[in-house]
Amino acid sequence: MKILLAFLIIASLSVLLWLADRGLLKAEERGWIYWRKKRGHSERLGQAFLDLHSMLEPGNRHVLEEKRREESEKPGEGAPPD
Protein backbone atom coordinates (compact mmCIF):
# COMPACT_ATOMS: atom_id res chain seq x y z
CA MET A 1 0.00 0.00 0.00
CA LYS A 2 2.86 2.40 0.82
CA ILE A 3 4.53 1.68 -2.52
CA LEU A 4 1.32 2.49 -4.40
CA LEU A 5 0.92 5.74 -2.45
CA ALA A 6 4.54 6.73 -3.13
CA PHE A 7 4.07 5.96 -6.84
CA LEU A 8 0.91 8.08 -7.00
CA ILE A 9 2.64 10.99 -5.28
CA ILE A 10 5.63 10.83 -7.64
CA ALA A 11 3.37 10.52 -10.69
CA SER A 12 1.24 13.48 -9.51
CA LEU A 13 4.30 15.65 -8.94
CA SER A 14 5.66 14.73 -12.37
CA VAL A 15 2.39 15.72 -14.04
CA LEU A 16 2.24 18.99 -12.08
CA LEU A 17 5.82 19.88 -13.04
CA TRP A 18 5.11 19.08 -16.69
CA LEU A 19 1.98 21.25 -16.65
CA ALA A 20 3.88 24.09 -14.99
CA ASP A 21 6.58 23.82 -17.67
CA ARG A 22 3.97 23.93 -20.46
CA GLY A 23 2.33 26.96 -18.87
CA LEU A 24 5.65 28.79 -18.54
CA LEU A 25 6.50 28.00 -22.16
CA LYS A 26 3.15 29.49 -23.23
CA ALA A 27 3.92 32.62 -21.19
CA GLU A 28 7.30 32.80 -22.90
CA GLU A 29 5.68 32.57 -26.33
CA ARG A 30 3.56 35.59 -25.45
CA GLY A 31 6.66 37.51 -24.37
CA TRP A 32 5.75 37.73 -20.70
CA ILE A 33 8.81 35.90 -19.32
CA TYR A 34 12.04 34.19 -20.30
CA TRP A 35 11.84 30.49 -19.50
CA ARG A 36 13.73 27.92 -21.58
CA LYS A 37 13.81 28.91 -25.22
CA LYS A 38 14.84 32.54 -25.04
CA ARG A 39 17.51 34.06 -22.90
CA GLY A 40 17.76 37.50 -21.43
CA HIS A 41 20.55 39.70 -22.68
CA SER A 42 23.59 39.86 -20.45
CA GLU A 43 24.35 43.21 -22.06
CA ARG A 44 21.35 44.69 -20.26
CA LEU A 45 22.60 43.45 -16.91
CA GLY A 46 26.05 44.86 -17.61
CA GLN A 47 24.51 48.16 -18.61
CA ALA A 48 22.52 48.25 -15.37
CA PHE A 49 25.69 47.73 -13.34
CA LEU A 50 27.45 50.47 -15.29
CA ASP A 51 24.57 52.85 -14.54
CA LEU A 52 24.71 51.96 -10.86
CA HIS A 53 28.48 52.37 -10.81
CA SER A 54 28.26 55.77 -12.47
CA MET A 55 25.78 56.90 -9.81
CA LEU A 56 28.06 55.75 -7.00
CA GLU A 57 31.22 57.16 -8.60
CA PRO A 58 30.35 60.13 -10.81
CA GLY A 59 34.03 60.59 -11.74
CA ASN A 60 33.91 57.38 -13.78
CA ARG A 61 30.89 58.44 -15.83
CA HIS A 62 33.05 58.72 -18.95
CA VAL A 63 33.18 54.90 -19.13
CA LEU A 64 29.39 54.73 -19.40
CA GLU A 65 29.26 57.53 -21.96
CA GLU A 66 31.94 55.83 -24.10
CA LYS A 67 30.08 52.51 -23.94
CA ARG A 68 26.86 54.17 -25.11
CA ARG A 69 28.70 55.97 -27.91
CA GLU A 70 30.18 52.66 -29.14
CA GLU A 71 26.75 51.03 -29.11
CA SER A 72 25.29 53.83 -31.19
CA GLU A 73 28.09 53.46 -33.78
CA LYS A 74 27.78 49.72 -34.44
CA PRO A 75 29.30 48.66 -37.76
CA GLY A 76 26.88 47.85 -40.55
CA GLU A 77 24.42 50.55 -39.59
CA GLY A 78 23.87 53.88 -41.25
CA ALA A 79 24.65 54.91 -44.80
CA PRO A 80 26.40 52.48 -47.16
CA PRO A 81 30.10 53.13 -47.84
CA ASP A 82 31.17 55.02 -50.97
Q: pLDDT tens track of the chain, all 82 residues?
A: 899 999 999 999 999 999 999 999 999 888 888 877 766 566 666 777 777 777 777 777 777 677 777 777 766 655 566 5
Mark out the alpha helices in the chain (DSSP H runs): 2-29, 42-56, 61-72
In a domain, 82, yes or no: no
Give the per-residue pLDDT at 6.
94
Based on the domain organization, do 1 and 33 belong to the same domain?
yes
In a domain, 3, yes or no: yes
The dihedral through the CA atoms of 11, 16, 19, 24 has a sign that is negative
Its domain, for residue 48, covers 41-73
Q: How many domains does the chain have?
A: 2
Give the per-residue pLDDT at 43.
65
pTM of the model: 0.45
In a domain, 79, yes or no: no
